Amino acid sequence: MDQQKLEQMRATLNKLEDIKNSQESIIDKINHVITDLFQSPDSGLEKAMENAHQKSSDNVDAVREAIEIYEMKINKLENQA
């Protein structure tokens, strides 16, 4: 395996980590809005935030799984070198 390909794959892995971190940040912000709704309840907004929270959580899980699979590919290629 050539080194340039591995470096490209590691760069992609870093981007995947950044995506995961961004999604986790979104979840944190959604949680802040949900907390704020305790002071000023709005059932429509609460429902929307619950849905957004679930979708973001699902995205984190999907990206985390993709990261694990991609890391295994990288490790396998590194071990073959």
Residue-range definition of the domain harbouring residue 49 = 3-80
Average pLDDT of the segment spanning 47-74: 97
Please report, for residues 7, 13, 45, 50, 73, the alpha-carbon distance to residue 80 in angstroms, rounded to integers and kept in the order given.
15, 19, 52, 45, 11
Instruction: Name the domain count of the chain.
Output: 1
The reported pLDDT for the residue numbered 81 is: 64
pLDDT band at 51 (very low <50, low <70, confident <90, very high): very high
Give the C-alpha separation, 45 to 37, whole Å: 8
pLDDT band at 2 (very low <50, low <70, confident <90, very high): confident
26 contacts 56 by C-beta, under 8 angstroms: yes
Q: How many other C-beta atoms are found inside a 10 Å radius of the C-beta of residue 30?
A: 20
